[in-house]
Structure 1
Amino acid sequence: MDSLPSTIQRALWLTCLLLVSSLCSAKTHPSYLNQDYCDGLVEQFVDSGMRSLGKYINEHFNPEYKGGIRNTIHFLEQRSEWLGECNDYLLDTAQSHVFYNDQNTREIFAAMNALARELQHVREGVEYPDDAGNNNPTPFIKSRYETLAQLVDQHHTRMLMKKQFQ
C-alpha cells in the first residue's frame, strides 16, 4: 500500500519536472512580433522595398559611390534580420513561413545575402572586368538583383492566388 502514494508522488514530480524543463527551453520572442506585424513587414519588403531596391540597382547604381552601396547593403542586411526574426516567430507559433513556403523563404534569404555580398565586393574594390577589360560590376549586380526579384515575384504571385481562392 505504501508504494501507491510514492508512485503518485513520483509521477507528479516527473510531470512538474517536464513542465519546468519545457518552459525553460521554450523560445521567447519580442512582444511586438505577431502575425499582423510580420505580414506588414513582408508586404513592405515585397512592395516598396523591392521597388526602391530595383530603382537603385537599375537606375542609380554606380560603383564609384560607396555610400549608396553601403546603404543598400545595410538595407538588405536589416530586412534579412527583421524577416528572419518574423520567420522564426511564425515557425514557432503558426508553423508557417514568412514567405510562401520553406523553399521559397530559404531561396529569398539566400538571394538577399548573395546580393549584399556582391555589393560588398564592389565596395571593397573587387574588379569585374568586361570584354573590353574595363571594371564593370553592373551586370553582376543586376543579375543578383534579378534573381531576388524573380523569387519575390513568385512569392507575391502565389500569395495573390491563395487570396483569390479563399
Structure 2
Amino acid sequence: MGKTMNSPTSAILRALGLLSLLIASTSISAKTHPSYLTEEYCSSVVEQFVGSGMRSLGKYVNEHFNPEYKGGIRNTIRFLEQRSEWLNECNEYLVDTNNTYIFHSQDDTQDIFMAIDELTRELQHVRSGVEYRDDTGNNNPAPFIKRRFTTLAQLVDRHHTRLLMKKQFQ
C-alpha cells in the first residue's frame, strides 16, 4: 500500500521537475528585445522603408547618382545599412514573439535583405573606385546600380502589393 500512495506523489514530483527544467531552458534560450520593439513600431519601420525610403532611394539612383560624388554614395550606403539594421531588428523580434516575418514570408524577407545587401555592396565598390567599363570604355557604374535598385524595388513592390491586398480584404 505504501508503493501505491508514493506512486502519484513521485509522478507529480517528476512532472514538476521536468516542468522546471523546461522553464529554465526556455528562459535561458529566450532572446530579450528592447522595450521599444512592438508590432506597431515594426510596421511603421516597414511602411517608412517601403514608402518614402524607397521613393528617396529611387530618386537618388535614377536622377542624382554620380560616381564622382562620393559623399552622396556614402550617405546612401549609410541609409541602406541603417534601414537594414532596423528591419533586421524588427524581423528578429517578430520571429521570436509572433513567429512571423517583417515581410510577407521568410523567403520574401531573405530576398529583400539580400537585395539591400547587394545594392549596398555595389555602391561600396563604386565608392572605393572600382571601375565599370561600358562598351565605349568609359567608367559607367550607373546601369549596375540601377539594376540592383530595380531588383530591390520589384521585391519591395511585391510586398507592398500584398499588404494592400490584405488591407482590402480585412
TM-score bracket for this pair, using the shorter chain length: over 0.9
Work out whether 1:9 is the aligned partner of 2:10: no
Residue 96 of structure 1: aligned partner = 100
Residue 68 of structure 1: aligned partner = 72
Partner Cα distance (2:99, 2:113) in 1: 18
Work out whether 1:134 is the aligned partner of 2:143: no
Identity between Structure 1 and Structure 2 (%):
68
Match of 2:126 among 122, 128, 133: 122
Partner Cα distance (2:91, 2:57) in 1: 22
- Map 1:74-85 onto structure 2 (within 5 A): 74-85=78-89
Q: Residue 99 of structure 1: CA displacement?
A: 1.1
Q: Secondary structure at the match of 2:87?
A: helix
Partner Cα distance (1:79, 1:95) in 2: 21
Considering only aligned residues, what root-mean-square deviation do their CA atoms show, in Å? 1.3
Residue 41 of structure 1: aligned partner = 45
Partner Cα distance (2:19, 2:167) in 1: 43
Residue 35 of structure 2: aligned partner = 31
Work out whether 1:148 is the aligned partner of 2:152: yes
The one-character-per-residue Cα deviations of 1:76-102 (angstroms, maximum 9, x if unpaired) are: 111111101111111122221111222
Partner Cα distance (1:124, 1:136) in 2: 14
Partner Cα distance (2:30, 2:45) in 1: 25
Work out whether 1:165 is the aligned partner of 2:169: yes
Partner Cα distance (1:17, 1:102) in 2: 31
Residue 58 of structure 2: aligned partner = 54
Partner Cα distance (2:12, 2:162) in 1: 53
Q: TM-score, normalised by structure 1?
A: 0.94
Distance of aligned partners of 1:7 and 1:96 in 2 relative to their CA distance in 1, 3 Å threshold:
closer
Q: Residue 6 of structure 1: CA displacement?
A: 4.2
Count of residues paired in the alignment: 166
Q: TM-score, normalised by structure 2?
A: 0.92
Residue 22 of structure 2: aligned partner = 18
Work out whether 1:109 is the aligned partner of 2:113: yes
Partner Cα distance (1:112, 1:87) in 2: 15
Q: Residue 140 of structure 1: CA displacement?
A: 0.3
The one-character-per-residue Cα deviations of 1:73-126 (angstroms, maximum 9, x if unpaired) are: 111111111101111111122221111222211111111000000000001110
Partner Cα distance (2:156, 2:15) in 1: 51
